[in-house]
Structure 1
């Protein structure tokens, strides 16, 4: 279930919050092949099932960067920030690939808000959050990818109340 934040105060109070998990998705050979085509990375451990069967993983594995890219699929399932004038991806910290993701495996995202801070002052202020997303592999103790994503949000201004 997606955790929803509607204003800056809610998000600022969320440091340490567990965002839960997403639905599982299957890592198919078709998805791996499409990623190989998009990036030009056609290494045999990703796209040659017969050769990969004899390789170190016993079959094809997803590209590490494909696993990382799927964070973009999982993140909106974990967290949604409403009432924005703008939201941007600032970057990532500490990307790691603890375990290979085999073709045919099912994976999901698990999220945790590591920190939230205000950037700037007044009308130009924005809120920056760092969310750790772990790509869990069904049946494995080790994740396929762990990344700390950094997002910056500018909320819509709230009109001041008129006094009478």
Structure 2
């Protein structure tokens, strides 16, 4: 059996303290996520679809909530969808159709996989870590904002994979 030195106890106490703080932060994050879910699904405009996803008849504001993923799966949002300034690495769970703006700028996205297929107004994906346009919406009826990413895509790159009806800002 190894004999403990005086410093060993302090290190172990610090490690236990760090673990307790980490668990407390995880618990707070879980409470925060459950609060977000409860607020979303209890909205009067929320409809649960047969596949377990949710549709909404008004905008969704998930701006700067520290999200790493979406707390529920969205299907259709008749309004704007703002998930900007989070820590998202994927858009999986995003609505398939958004009737106004879709904002996912300033996240940690490397592709647009999971993005809506149809955006009726503007699509904002600037300030990410994009290295691929995989998952780009099929149709963006407004402008497309895609600058300050790891790869600076050309207008031709973007037009080759999506029907952008407005201006491409790159």
Per the shorter chain, which TM-score range? under 0.3
**Bigger-Rg structure (1/2):** 2
TM-score for both structures, normalised by structure 1: 0.21
Q: Which has the higher strand share?
A: 1
